[in-house]
Amino acid sequence: MPRNQSVSDLFTKYLNEDTSVQETSDLFKQIAESEYDEELSSLLDAELRNTTDVTDYNPAWEHTLVNIKSKSGFTIVDGTESTASAPAVTTTETPSLSGTIETIRSTEAIPTIDTIPTLSPPIKRNIRLWGTIAKIAAVLLVVVGIYFFNEYQKEPNYEHLTANDIPPGKIGATLTLANGSKVILDDQTPENISDTHGVKISKTKDGQLVYTLVNNENLPNSTAFNTIQTPKGGQYQVILPDGTKVWLNAASSLKYPEVFAGKKRSVTLTGEAYFEVAKDKDKPFHVLTQNQNVEVLGTHFNINGYLDDHTIKTTLLEGAVKVSNLKSTKKLKPGEQAISRISENALIQVTSQVDTDDEIAWKNGLFQFNDTDLKIILNQLERWYDIKIDYSSIPDKRYNGMVPRKSKLSEVLKMLEKTGNIKFELLENRTLKVIPKNN
């Protein structure tokens, strides 16, 4: 496969959370090919050895990775949350994944779709290792998922899903400039979009919209706003004039000034976005959503505020944020999530019982669910695949599971159907009909 960057370079950037949407897609495409197995295994081994403190190593983490093939699908959660602990092991050897990928590819048995193991995060000093484990698990999931779909043909007939199959979403958005003109951001868009009033707007080949200040003496006033909007089935990354990075999920929009003038930096979000805010202690950064304001100085966080989900979830990964609405104000610490109702002026609730990997899985190229209501799962599929959902007969079920977002819609639906309690019919008008099964 022709490639602009090596697997090694992309893998390193991915672990450092520095890949663009396009680079993440390129990495997953390359690791899905068996010719890169040896190189990928070496990279996985090296990263774990460089990250792990041998005295604190918990072999259960490697157990989780080696058994990642059991995660390549969905499991239903009946009643209480399904959990399974890894067996206790006493050795303190540094983990090794050599041969894991080859074993996964060469296995003769169809991977079992069973209960997803849930492990408690390591103690505080191993937070970086736990993050590395999660990212490597995502990489292995892609290998397993692609192999599973390509190699196993002894399956039930899924013509009801494949006849009108829909490809996954892609990089794409529409930029509305301050003068009202619109620019479609796709592969055909020229690299230089605008260069006026001291601000250069450009598009990179890997799917980023970049704002660069080139003349501080001729800057526009703070009312010159731009808006970037992703359609259903699209996502995009923006680098704002202050250096803040924003990943915009499907069916979302971000409104922002061409230049952050005045005493604060303010943007308006609808939908979902992940922010890495450039530090500026003299000019706090504000994200305005429906009935909510998030204030930061410099930090990493995710905001999910889709109207049809009825809640706004603000999840903090690094730094500190202050979340406010008309009723209350809460300060978050890393690993915490603020939850507020969109349609009500209710008090903001804060929880530390949140898996941050689940919350930003979309940014890393995954659907990832943990005891998630089926309607929430279908909402995500509706946005990413640009389909309509018939919600008239959706069962009250919750699921665990992970699937690469680069999968076709039929592949995701197959995984859900394998739980045995639900069936889907994909109609010609891109409508997905949900058919509960009576067990």
pLDDT tens by residue, 337-380: 999 988 777 899 999 989 999 999 999 999 998 889 999 999 99
Supply the mean pLDDT for the chain.
Answer: 76
Of 199, 303, 184, 221, the residue nearest 254 (C-alpha): 303
In-domain check, residue 114 = yes
In-domain check, residue 93 = yes
SS3 115: coil
In-domain check, residue 234 = no
Residues spanned by the domain of 78: 7-151
pLDDT top residue among 100 and 425: 425
Report the distance separating Cα 10 and Cα 2, nearest Å: 14
What residue has token string 């998922």?
A: 145
Confidence of residue 273 (pLDDT cuts 50, 70, 90): very high
Percent of the chain at pLDDT > 70 equals: 66
Of 168, 144, 142, the residue nearest 7 (C-alpha): 142
CB 95 within 8 A of CB 52: yes
DSSP-derived secondary structure for 187-231 = TTS-SEEEEETTEEEEE-TTSEEEEEE--TTSPPPTT-EEEEE--
Handedness of CA 378, 382, 383, 384 (dihedral sign): positive
In-domain check, residue 99 = yes
In order of 230, 309, 385, 422, the CA distances from 389 in angstroms are 19, 14, 11, 14
Per-residue pLDDT, 252:
98
pLDDT tens by residue, 384-401: 999 999 988 888 888 888
In order of 249, 262, 289, 311, the CA distances from 272 in angstroms are 5, 26, 10, 12
In-domain check, residue 237 = no
pLDDT tens by residue, 291-329: 899 999 889 999 999 988 889 999 999 999 999 998 899
Beta-bridge mates of residue 195: 200
Report the distance separating Cα 336 and Cα 207, nearest Å: 30
Confidence of residue 89 (pLDDT cuts 50, 70, 90): very low
Has residue 188 got a pLDDT over 70? yes
The structural domain count of the chain equals 1
What residue has token string 């499907």?
A: 250
Highest mean pLDDT among 35-49, 275-289, 422-436: 275-289
Per-residue pLDDT, 256:
96
pLDDT tens by residue, 101-112: 444 344 433 333
Of 228, 291, 298, the residue nearest 257 (C-alpha): 228
Q: Are strands 245-248 and 173-176 parallel, antiparallel or unpaired?
A: unpaired
Confidence of residue 222 (pLDDT cuts 50, 70, 90): low
Q: Are strands 173-176 and 182-185 parallel, antiparallel or unpaired?
A: antiparallel
Per-residue pLDDT, 197:
72
pLDDT tens by residue, 128-161: 444 555 555 565 555 444 444 444 444 566 777 7
Has residue 116 got a pLDDT over 50? no
CB atoms within 10 A of CB 348: 19
What residue has token string 């190229």?
A: 365
In-domain check, residue 18 = yes
In-domain check, residue 27 = yes
Please measure the distance between the N-terminal and C-terminal CA atoms of the chain and give it in whole angstroms. 46
In-domain check, residue 346 = no
